[in-house]
Structure formats: structure tokens, C-alpha cells
Structure 1
Amino acid sequence: MTLPFLAALRVFVSYYRPYRLTLLIDLLCALVVAAVTLAYPLCAGYITRTVLNLPGPEAWADLMRVGSLLLGLLAVQLAANTFVDYQGHMMGTFIERDMRRDLFAHLQQQSFSFYDAQRTGQLMSRVTNDLFDIGELAHHGPEDLFVALALFLGVFVILFGMNAPLTLFLLCLLPLMAVYAVFFNVRLNRALMESRRRIGDVNAQVEDALAGIRVVQSFTGETAEQRRFDHEHQRFVDSRRAGYQADAYFYQGMTAFTQLMTISVLVLGGKSILQGELRVDQLVTYLLCVGILLEPIRRFVNIARLLQEGVTGFQRFLEVMAVQPDITDPPSALNLQRVLGAVEFKNVSFQYASSTVPILQGIHLTIPAGEFVALVGHSGVGKTTLCNLIPRFYEVSGGQILIDGTPIRDVTLASLRSNIGVVQQDVYLFSGTVMENIRYGRPEATPAEIAEAAEQAGAHSFIMQLPQGYDTDIGQRGVKLSGGQKQRLSIARVFLKDPPILIFDEATSSLDNESERLIQASLERLAQRRTTIVIAHRLSTVRNAGRIVVMTREGIAEQGTHTELMQLGGVYAKLQTSGSL
């Protein structure tokens, strides 16, 4: 969806609101810069028209006063330009930061359906590169337009009286300019490289959080992820500050040399005229070479570039922000409290937005609090989908789901998901230490509570064998751990969360026998006194279930214990016989 131009402009301008004072001072400084730029030819005109016609001693005194005035104007110009380049750039960076923060928070509110249709790399580009272009536009757009218009209006009033160049003196300052440029260019490049590294850290954090959004949402970790993101993002902002500071010194140094050339030529050229070594028209012509007209032209070109890059980035930003989360809290949502864990499906149906065929249809299932239920059936019959509907990772297409008799649509997402623990086959661990990953289950947990959860999950012994124990960094997505170790950490995370409802999604299907035995024991400890729903393909898991629910593409085919279903000789018995369980 594309917003109308005026609506999009209002959204863009709204981000200036916290920085109104900075924007006002920035534009005033830009106006001062334009005024001082126009004052130089006026002073030149004064020199040629008045000072040079005075008697010798008076002319020298008046010339020195004009030179002092020009130096004062240069100081004012440098101060104003430094504010524009430094604080103006920081304002653009703050606006960029605010947009990125809002976009990240907005992405965390999206449901699984949104991420099913998106590519993480594209979202990363919108969060990083697109918003950098917006930051540049936010700073340079108003300033360049303001200065360019002011210069154009003033230059054409003055230029008609300027003619004849003075250029030889420029050669004297070129070596100094070159040394200055090389020195600050090195600093600028170093700062820019650091900035690129920092934005890489931000990208890694965003990718980590979005790729693990299922874990984030099931543990209601949005606030923790926002804190981690804000920390990395602030480091990036600090690196950008150093870059813009070096940028300001570099370009304003170049401006200082350029304007010193102008002042020097005016003073020395006037002296040469007094001594009969130079004609007045040669002095005036030099002023045409100052490049007054080149400045507004350069700024207009810059505006065109910024608009091309920034507007495109802003449109992509608006496209994502316009996508409203399809699963939200209703206005009257209540917090789910004192949960016992009874789960009931009433005529539940579900169909993916991209599919024309329902995955689930007419599901009726009641699970009393504390019961251990196993879901079995061929792949694709909707077992995982059914479990994903309980924490509202997806929204039911029809019917309703109740917890302790309360429809889950009537409670807040945070309270609903905080009472549900999910252990998935594809374990997602975050970059960081073992302790940080377990603590995700309950951020306020103490080290002793974390160790106790790891002990219950059968993970404590292998953790203590790691190089730094609980402080060992496990790498991106836990690449330094085995599959069984990662699974035990995910179970420890749920032990720490201590929810009344548990969902195990084929938690042991990809493990070896020894790892399965250890994890199976952990799951049995975790399932005690909790409502437990297990998606299982292994007989060892199914035998321990108090009830087995057999699912087919038509819905729930049969229910009962292992013995009852084998005696029935139905779908379950055929699955067992064929080895397809």
C-alpha cells in the first residue's frame, strides 16, 4: 500500500518533532552561511569602490578594518557550518535511529504468517541500508534547499558588478591544503570503516532476532530483544558521531583554506592596486572565481541525489510500517492469570493465506489440566499447525481455542505466551553464552536458578565441561554445541520459564539414541504436573502418553492409549505396523 504524497510527507515531517530546535538552529546557521558567502563580494565591492579611493594612510587603516571584518565573518561562517555539518548530521542520524527503532519494534509484532511470506535479507535491507539514505535526506534535504535558494536569490543581485580574476596567490596555499586534506581524509576513512563495522553488528542482531522470532514470541522476549537491539544500535550511533566529526573538520578545513584565499587575495590584491601593480578590474574578476554560483548548483545536485535515494528508502519503510499485525490484543483483552492448563479446541479450522486447501477443519479436542497428550499422524496432517494455534502464532480461521474456559482471543498475547512453553525440533539459540540462552526463559532469574534448570534438563554436567562453563560463548545459533546439547539447553530454558502448558514439537526425532534417552528423561521431568502436548514419531515417546490423538487429513481419526489403539486396529495400528509413526 502506497500512502498519498501529503500523508507520506506528514509521516516524514513527524520525525523532526523531537528535534525541532536543532532543525531551527540548523536552518538559521545555513542562512548565516549563505549571508556570509554573499558578504564577501560586497566587501570586495566596498574595497574597490571606497577604500581604494581614500588617501594612502586612511586607505591602509580602512583596508585593515575590512580585513578584520572578513576574518570575523569567516569565524562566524566556520562556526555555523560546523554546527550544520555536525549537529545537522547527528539530527539526521537520530531520525534514522528513531525510524529504525520503530521499524524493528513493528517487525517484532508481526505473526508467523508475515515471516512465512518474507525473506530475512530483504527485511534486513529495509532496516539498515534504506534508512541510512533516509538519514542523509533528513539532514541535507532542508538545509541544501534552504541555502541553495538563498544563494541564488542573493548572487544574482551582486554578480553583475564582478569581473577580472586574481589567481596566482592560490598556488601558495595548495601544498598546505593537500597536507590537511590527506590527514583528515585518513581520519574520516577510519571513522567510516568503524561505522560500517558497527552497522554490521546491528545487522547481525536484527537477523538473529528475526530468524528466531518464534522463540522470541513464545517466550515473550520482545522487550529483551529490543534492549539488545538498542544497545548495538547506540554503539553504531556513537561511531557515526565520530565519522561526522571528522567529516566536519575535513570539509570545513577545506572551506577555511578556500576563504583564506579569498581574504588574502582581497587584502594583497588591494595592496598591489595601491602600489600600482594590479588593476582594480583584476581584483574584482577574481571574486567571480570564488565559485558562488557553483555552491547552490552543487547543493541542488545533492538534493536531487538525496531525493532519488532517500524517497525510495522512505517508501520501502512505509510499505513495511503499513503492514498491520494480523494477530493483536483486542481493546478489552485481559491478562491470563492462575492458569491450570486445560486446553479445548471447539470446531477449529485453519487455512494458510497462500493455500486454497484447509490444513485443519472441524477439530474438537479437550485436554484436561495436567494431561500428557501425544499427537501422531503422517507428515502434513496439521500436528504442528494445531500446536502453533494455541499460543496464537497463527490465528484460527474458524472456531475457537480456550484455556481454562477462556477464549485465547480474549487475553493478551504476552500473558498467553508466558504460560506456554515450546520445545521445537529445530532449536534456536542466540549468539552469546550458555547462561544468557537459558536465562531467556526468565530474564530476572538468578545464576542458581539457571543452574537448577540446567540440572533438571540434564545439561549441567556437559555445561561444566565447557571451557568457561555457563559463561562459554556458544557461537551463532549454538554452532559450537551438538544437537543433543542444544536441545537440552532449550529444555533448560523452558524449565526456567516454568509454564503450566508445554508443547514438544518432535523434540527428539533428529537425535541419536543416547541423546534421545537423556532428553526423554528431561522431558518427563518437565512434563510432571503440567498439561503436555507432544508431537512424536518415536514409540518410546508415545508409550508414555496418557492419551494418543491420531490425526489424518480429515481431522482427528481416533484417540486412546497405546494399548487401546493397537487393539482397535485402526489408523494408529497401521502406522505402527508400517513403521511410519
Structure 2
Amino acid sequence: MSHWKSYFRFVKPYTKWIIVTLLIGILKFGIPSLLPLVLKYVVDDVVLNHGLSTGQQVQHLLIVLGITLFLFVIVRGPVEYMRQYFAQYITARILYDLRNKLYEHLQRLSLRYYQNTKVGEIISRFINDAEQTKNIVEVGMMNVWLDLFTLIFVLGFMFYLDPVLTLVSIAIMPLYALSVKVLYKRLKKLTKDRSAALAGIQAYLHERIQGISVIRSFALENYDRKQFGGTNGAFLEKGLAQSRWNAWTFAIINTLTDIAPLLVIGYGGYQVIQGHLTLGTFVAFFGYLDRLYAPLKRLINSSTVLTQASASWERVNELLKEPYDMVDEPGSGMLKADSCSVAFKQVWFKYHEDGEWVLKDISLNVNPGETIAFVGMSGGGKSSLVGLIPRFYDIQEGSVQVNGRDVREYTMQSLRSHVGMVLQDNFLFSGSVKDNILLGNPGAGEEEVMAAAKAANAHEFILKLPQGYDTEVGERGVKLSGGQKQRIAIARVFLKDPPILILDEATSALDLESEHLIQQSLRDLSTNRTTLVVAHRLSTITHADRIYVLKDGEVVESGSHEALMAENGVYAGLYSIQKLQA
């Protein structure tokens, strides 16, 4: 029941609305329940009342019709509208709150979580499973209670008409209870398996759409269709298993439902023949029988829906309970500085507790305004090292410091607001060029955006785009070249104006012309900032105050470009090879 309690925190703010909706629903379902009584009155007291003349019978009939028309047309119409609207309003608001909470939760999860979880799986829980949970309120907290009220209301009238016949009509209800207990336990597991299989399809589809260029370039269309057929087939198998169980459930429930009218017809007809029951009472009773088993059927259907909703909520709740690897430490302070120093003190780091050390005993200092560079073979730990400064990961031993304090002593938001990053593959969001630059400072004005673009050597090419700064860049910036995307990313950092700048192989994937423009922008960007550069092309970092050579997670050499060349060690060898290749 604990996972239900966690859902009710989303329901609690709307408790009053739910109560109002239930009261309106009682009126909505209560009015039709009067119809069999009206029928009894018409049959026994009007049609079969031979003490009344024909004119009096017609007069009584018209009075009854007038009253019922008022109830069913004038009263019930607005009541039906309000009940439906309020029910949809409440569920929509709860779903809105739930998705907001989910999104906030996703933003706080660590990069490690996203590296280990498929995006399609997350989207499936966020969209499909969250959507299913609305039935917990709409069905479980509204429809079920209204159907139970209808059952009690109808049973009250039935006992009033004939207690013995009522007992006959509900004789099969224990079988209903047994069926629900046996059938729906299995249905919940099958529903959860189907949801997991659907998430598998979404994860596969998301990944393949992202990599469609690879599939095309290797002519893998036929192979990929077969792979998708396997994933789709797994979903089909789970879906059919759920459908088979659903079919058995409805077959058994409907069979049980059909037995009750036969019992009433048999016993009630016999009572009318014997003169122990009036024809009007028998007709009214049969009318109530339908109103008894209609909500009962809905309750059974509600059990199916709630079983599916419960399975979906369990999947959503699993996501909500995903722990945060990275949290602000108690008593964390705000980082407020126009310039920053960075230091690594005997830092040891690995991504997983049972994994190998990625960084080993790293110690170095970067003074405010200095530029240092990290070079070395791929896998040496360069990107891992600079990723520790904005606290994308926490280290196991040692200390990463900004302005002499451990980064864990600052709030993550204030720490990261002081760090600007330009990566090899910068992510652009769908939207306009202006929207993407504004991510550096959402409150900036148009002139500031243009100034940042000019500083990044991006203003000129932006003006040549079809709508200039309002040009849509497409998903991940697909409508722009690599150099254009990179310059927009640099403009973003110019607009942010952070005291710490991290350049992680920011030009390694570009052509020489684009690299020349961007290197000029990066030189301007790093002026008067504490700059850490991860470089593949060593010719781009010869100006650095110090260069650190990393190999297998350790610093093997350090010094200026001239000093390292004079040592004729690892750095000199790498530089000579690249110069020869050039």
C-alpha cells in the first residue's frame, strides 16, 4: 500500500473537488434509479387501476411524465455536464502535477543514471504510464464510489419491493468476489509485463531514429526491420497474453451476470402467478435488476482498469523513487565570485564502486585568469577530470576545490552557474537560433544576444539564414553545419559570461576553416577567465600557461609548451607526430 500513499500526495490538494464531484455524481446516478419505481406506479396504480376512468388514467400518466421529464431533461442534463467536466478537470490537474514532479525529478537525477537507462524507457514511463495513472482518481476515487452508491441505493429499493426476491437476485455475488480475487492478481502482472514491452519498443525506436544515418550508410534497413520485428513480436506476445486473460475474465463475469436475470424471471414469475407479487412490482424489480448488475459490471471493468493503472503507477513510482547520486550537502553555501581559482588535491575517481580508477592521485592548481590544457591518448581521463569541476560526478578520495573550498560545499546550482562549457558535440535544442543562445542567460535582451554572437564570430552567418536569429535550427541543430552549431554554443557561453571556462575538444571535429574562426572566438572567450582545455590538436594549446599530459589517469608530464618540448618526452613525441602528419 506504500506506493498508493505516495500517489495520494498528488490527490490531496483536490480532495474538496473530488467530494463535490462525488455529490454531483450521486445526484446523476440517483435520478435514473427512480425510473423502475415510476414504472411500478404506472403499471399498478395507473394502467391496472380499474377504479380510475380512462381520462383519469391519462391525466395521472401525463403528471408522471411531466415530473420525470423535468428530472431527466431539466435537472439531469446540467448535472451530467458538471459531473463529467469536474471529473476530467481533476484528473487533468493531477496528471499535470505528476508530470511536473516527474520532470523536476528527472532534472535532478545524475548523469550516471542517464548513461545506464534507455531514453525510450524513461519517455514510456513519463508519457504512457503516467497517463494510465489518471484512472486511479477518475475510476478508483469517483466511478467506483458512485457505482457502490448506486448498488446500495438500488438494493435498498429492491429490499423495499421484495426482500426474498432480492436475496435470489444477489445469490451469485460471492462468485463475483471470488472471480475478482483469482483473475485480477494475474492480470496485474500481465499488464506490467505489457507496459515493459511497450517501453522496449519506444526505447528501440528512439535509438534507431537518432541513428538513422548510420543505418542508411551501412544499408542496414532489412536487418534493422528484422531486429524491430523481434522487439515488436515480444510486445505482441505480452499484449496477447494480457488479452487472453482479459477475455477469460469478461467471459466468466458476463456468464455469471446472465444467471441472475434467469433466477429472477423464474422465481418472480412464479410469485406473480401465485398472486404473491403484483405485475408492477415484478416489472419494477426486473428494471432494478439491470441497474444492479450494470454498476456491478462497471465495478468489474473498473477492477481491470485499476489493475492496469496500478501496474503503471508502480512503474512511475519506481522512477520517482530513483535515488539522487548528486545532492547538495547540508549547509551548502552559494558561490559568488567574479574570478575563480581551481585546485585538485590528491583526487582519486572512478565511475562505479566496483570499477577501475579513472583518475589516480591528481594534484594541480589553476590560478584565476590562467589557461591550462590537458592532453594525452583517448581514455586517459581528461574529460573525466574537467567534469568534476561542475560536479557532474563526486570523487571517492581527495578534494576538488574552487576558490579554496571543496565544490561539495557549494550548492550545485551556484557552482554550475560559474562554469561555462564548450564541448566537441554541443547540443542545440529545437527552436530558433536566438532561443539557443539565450540558454546562456534567459533574461538577456536582444542586443546582448547579438553582442554574444558577434564575439563568437556567429553574427555574420546568422544574418544569412532565412529568418536570421529567428531561424529554426531543427532537432539537435540538424539544419546547421558543425561549425555553425559550435559558434552558437560559444555565443551561449559568451552570454553566460562565467569566470570558469571548460573547453573539451571544442574544435577537434571541425574543418580547418571553421577551426580557425572558432579558435579566434575561444581565445577571446578565455581572456581573463580561468580556462581548462582538453585538446586533441596540440597546435591549439601551445599558448597555455601550463600543459598536463595524462596517461591512464595519471599526470606523467607538466609544464609550458616550450618546457615540455625541451624535455623531449611524451608530449614532444605527440606534438612531433601531429606536426609530421600536418
Same fold, judged at TM 0.5 (above): yes
Q: Does 1:488 align with 2:487?
A: yes
Q: Quick check: 2:450–2:459 contact (8 Å CA) kept in 1? A: yes
Q: Secondary structure at the match of 2:444?
A: coil
Q: Does 1:452 align with 2:456?
A: no
Q: Partner of 2:221 in structure 1?
A: none
Quick one: distance in 2 between partners of 1:106 and 1:327?
A: 12
- Partner amino acid for 1:69? I
Quick one: distance in 2 between partners of 1:397 and 1:72?
A: 76
Q: Quick check: 1:368–1:531 contact (8 Å CA) kept in 2? A: yes
Quick one: distance in 2 between partners of 1:337 and 1:571?
A: 39
- Partner amino acid for 1:60? V
Match for 1:8 among 3, 19, 24? 3
Quick one: distance in 1 between partners of 2:444 and 2:426?
A: 21
- Partner amino acid for 1:416? L
Match for 2:66 among 65, 68, 71? 68
Q: Secondary structure at the match of 1:128?
A: helix
Q: Secondary structure at the match of 1:335?
A: coil
Quick one: distance in 2 between partners of 1:498 and 1:530?
A: 9
Quick one: distance in 1 between partners of 2:410 and 2:452?
A: 28
Q: Secondary structure at the match of 2:290?
A: coil
Quick one: distance in 2 between partners of 1:404 and 1:332?
A: 18
Quick one: distance in 2 between partners of 1:327 and 1:339?
A: 26
Q: Quick check: 1:133–1:313 contact (8 Å CA) kept in 2? A: yes
- Partner amino acid for 1:364? S
Q: How many residues align?
A: 463
Q: Secondary structure at the match of 2:291?
A: coil
Q: Secondary structure at the match of 1:296?
A: helix
Q: Does 1:387 align with 2:382?
A: no
Identity %: 37
Quick one: distance in 2 between partners of 1:393 and 1:312?
A: 33
Q: Quick check: 2:36–2:285 contact (8 Å CA) kept in 1? A: no
The runs of 5 or more residues in structure 2 that have no matched partner are: 163-201, 211-277
* Equivalence map 1:134-153=2 (5 Å): 134-153=133-152
* Equivalence map 1:234-383=2 (5 Å): 284=283, 288=287, 291-353=290-352, 356-383=355-382
Q: Secondary structure at the match of 1:389?
A: coil
- Partner amino acid for 1:443? P
Q: Quick check: 1:30–1:146 contact (8 Å CA) kept in 2? A: no
Q: Quick check: 2:40–2:280 contact (8 Å CA) kept in 1? A: no
* Equivalence map 1:30-179=2 (5 Å): 30-52=25-47, 53=49, 54-56=51-53, 57-75=55-73, 76-159=75-158
Shift in Å, 1:543: 1.1
Deviations 1:168-187 (A, max 9, x none): xxxxxxxxxxxxxxxxxxxx
Deviations 1:68-90 (A, max 9, x none): 22123313333333222221022
Q: Secondary structure at the match of 1:348?
A: strand
Match for 2:19 among 24, 28, 50? 24
Q: Partner of 1:521 in structure 2?
A: 520
Quick one: distance in 2 between partners of 1:452 and 1:109?
A: 32
Shift in Å, 1:498: 0.6
Deviations 1:301-339 (A, max 9, x none): 331222122111111111111123221222311111124
Q: Secondary structure at the match of 1:293?
A: helix
Shift in Å, 1:415: 1.0
Shift in Å, 1:479: 0.7
Q: Does 1:537 align with 2:536?
A: yes
Q: Secondary structure at the match of 2:352?
A: coil
What is the TM-score when the length of structure 2 is the normalising length?
Answer: 0.75
Shift in Å, 1:295: 2.0
Q: Quick check: 1:457–1:489 contact (8 Å CA) kept in 2? A: yes
Quick one: distance in 2 between partners of 1:101 and 1:565?
A: 53
Q: Partner of 2:179 in structure 1?
A: none
Quick one: distance in 1 between partners of 2:149 and 2:530?
A: 72
4+ residue runs over 6 A deviation: none
Shift in Å, 1:401: 1.0
The runs of 5 or more residues in structure 1 that have no matched partner are: 163-202, 212-278
Q: Secondary structure at the match of 1:288?
A: helix
Shift in Å, 1:51: 3.1
Q: Quick check: 2:335–2:411 contact (8 Å CA) kept in 1? A: yes
Q: Quick check: 2:375–2:535 contact (8 Å CA) kept in 1? A: yes
What is the TM-score when the length of structure 1 is the normalising length?
Answer: 0.76
Quick one: distance in 2 between partners of 1:108 and 1:44?
A: 61
